[in-house]
């Protein structure tokens, strides 16, 4: 039997803004996007090193792979700052809730209103393509950019003006995840379905329905074998090993009483963290669960405010979580 050793928070910090999203740099610093437009940068010990006001409302934050840039999506575009929080560039144009740095950190993809844009690390525009509706999610497939909007996913070649590869879907896409091995693309949708495409192969599509709510939280495991999705109070984990999930039964991870707001895999893929509107942050060992049967969490923390975001610090293995009351906590999850 697996048990957990629940230690107190390693540190807990308060910022004077509602946490909307957070991200960890390679060295363990934390960037926090605030609902009232602030960006806070915290040290590895939770001290607030810098706080800057960027807009009327921030939506998304992402560190570059080298940890020398932070991109912040907001209600009016994207801002790039350096590691100290000083502004490098701004790109205006509309709502931006989706950001993705390329694997080498040289380029940043963003959905800004109805446009997919690619910027260099200093904020200069390299590429743009317009859609008929708001771009809700972006992701990289090696040197190509995938952008989700109503009607499906468009995959663009950034370096040339070729027609995009289209992964069609009739409806509104809210979340997008590309498997690290680049075999699969998955979307969480407004109609409470999960849709999956086999990248580069026509006709190999899957649709999973029966979720209680729309799906906004979605993440493949680091080894591409599992896909975690939140559509309602439970986290559903599909097996993508072998030929994929067609005809299979998912694992069901339980802990929450309200809708899941975020999911995040640990760097080694053994643990999955989930946050929910009931204020609870939970951690599971998904591979220990039996398909079709509920699996309880191995660690939980709860606050009387909605939990908005979770991520892992790669170097230390700490779990980072943020709540809408402005609380950020770092925890050590010990499983035996």
Q: How far apart are the first and last CA of the chain?
A: 9
Q: How far apart are CA 12 and CA 244, in angstroms?
A: 40
Q: Is residue 184 a contact partner of residue 178, using CB atoms and an 8 Å limit? A: yes
Q: What is the pLDDT of residue 9?
A: 83
Q: Is residue 66 a contact partner of residue 74, using CB atoms and an 8 Å limit? A: no
Q: What is the pLDDT of residue 336?
A: 63
Give the position of tokens 């495409």: 197
Q: What is the pLDDT of residue 5?
A: 40
Question: What's the pTM value of the predicted model, to 2 decimals?
Answer: 0.94
Torsion of CA 157, 162, 166, 172, to 10 degrees: 70
For residues 49-60, one letter each, b for 16 or more C-beta atoms within 10 angstroms of the residue's C-beta and e for the rest, the string is eebbebbebbbb
CA 61-67-68 angle, 5° bins:
95
Please choose, from the candidates 89, 100, 129, the residue with its C-alpha nearest in 3D space to the C-alpha of residue 113.
Answer: 129
Give the position of tokens 């086999």: 198
**β-pairing verdict for 251-254 and 294-296:** parallel
Q: What is the pLDDT of residue 28?
A: 94
Which parts of the chain register pLDDT below 50? 1-6
Q: How far apart are CA 126 and CA 108, in angstroms?
A: 10
Q: What is the pLDDT of residue 244?
A: 72
* CATH (residue range 221-331): 2.130.10.10
Q: Which CA distances in Å does 3 have to 102, 233, 274?
A: 38, 23, 18
Q: Is the dihedral of CA 221, 145, 232, 97 positive or negative?
A: positive
Q: How far apart are CA 133 and CA 139, in angstroms?
A: 17
Q: What is the pLDDT of residue 2?
A: 36
Q: What is the pLDDT of residue 4?
A: 39
Q: What is the pLDDT of residue 8?
A: 67
């Amino acid at each position: 039997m697996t048990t957990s050793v629940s230690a107190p928070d390693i540190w807990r910090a308060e910022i004077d803004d509602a946490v909307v999203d957070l991200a960890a740099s390679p060295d363990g610093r934390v960037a926090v996007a605030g609902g009232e437009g602030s960006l806070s940068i915290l040290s590895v010990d939770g001290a607030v090193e810098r706080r800057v006001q960027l807009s009327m409302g921030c939506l998304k934050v992402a560190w570059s792979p080298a940890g020398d840039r932070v991109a912040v999506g907001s209600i009016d575009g994207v801002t790039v700052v350096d590691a100290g929080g000083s502004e490098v560039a701004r790109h205006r144009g509309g709502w931006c809730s989706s950001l993705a740095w390329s694997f080498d950190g040289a380029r940043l993809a963003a959905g800004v209103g109805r446009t997919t844009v690619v910027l260099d690390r200093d904020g200069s525009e390299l590429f743009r393509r317009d859609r008929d509706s708001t771009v809700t999610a972006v992701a990289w497939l090696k040197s190509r950019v995938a952008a989700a909007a109503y009607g499906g996913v468009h995959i663009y070649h950034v370096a040339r003006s070729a027609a995009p590869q289209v992964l069609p879907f009739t409806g509104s896409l809210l979340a997008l995840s590309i498997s690290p091995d680049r075999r699969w693309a998955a979307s969480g949708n407004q109609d409470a379905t999960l849709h999956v495409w086999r990248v580069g192969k026509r006709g190999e599509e899957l649709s999973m329905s029966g979720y209680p709510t729309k799906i906004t939280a979605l993440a493949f495991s680091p080894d591409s074998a599992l896909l975690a999705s939140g559509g309602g109070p439970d986290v559903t984990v599909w097996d993508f090993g072998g030929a994929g999930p067609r005809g299979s039964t998912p694992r069901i991870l339980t802990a929450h009483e309200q809708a899941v707001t975020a999911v995040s895999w640990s760097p080694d893929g053994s643990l999955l963290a989930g946050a929910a509107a009931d204020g609870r942050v939970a951690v599971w060992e998904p591979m220990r669960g039996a398909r079709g049967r509920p699996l309880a969490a191995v660690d939980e923390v709860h606050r009387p405010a909605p939990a908005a975001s979770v991520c892992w610090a790669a170097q230390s293995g700490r779990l980072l979580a943020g709540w809408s009351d402005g609380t950020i906590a770092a925890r050590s999850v010990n499983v035996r």
